[in-house]
Amino acid sequence: MISLITVLTTSYYKIKFYYAKQAKLNKICNVVIEKLKHQQKLAIQDETGLTKSYVGSIQLRDLLLQSNKNKSKAWKEIEKKVESNTNVRSQILEMYGEIMRTWEWIGNLD
């Protein structure tokens, strides 16, 4: 009987932790999408053409996951979600002398 209660309690907390983690990842993904939209708007408004319409994914990771201990594991899940969005173009480009993955918003800016 005690082992059944232990199993149920453990399962409950694992499920609760999983959903809390997914909610946090979804929130970060939404922030990434908003930052990509903002960058696209800045690039369109820049008459000099110097502002790029894309952002390096590593820059976003460092900005958004500053205090996260499992930064690379969490970021892999975020990358998967962001890159599955059909309004985001993912490509490998050279930025500041380094080859890196970049994301660009290609959808509507409404």
State the Cα–Cα distance between residues 83 and 86, nearest whole angstrom. Answer: 7
**pLDDT band for position 92 (cuts 50, 70, 90):** very high
Residue with tokens 């890159």: 83
What's the order of all strands across the beta sheet hosting 88-95? 54-56, 98-105, 88-95
pLDDT per residue over 18-67, tens digit each? Answer: 999 999 999 999 999 999 999 999 999 999 989 999 999 999 998 888 87
Structure tokens at 5: 């209660």
Single pTM value for the model: 0.85
Task: Enumerate domains of the chain plus CATH numbers.
Answer: 2-105 (1.10.10)
CA quadruple 21, 81, 45, 50: dihedral positive or negative? positive
Kindly state the average pLDDT of the residues 80-95.
Answer: 94
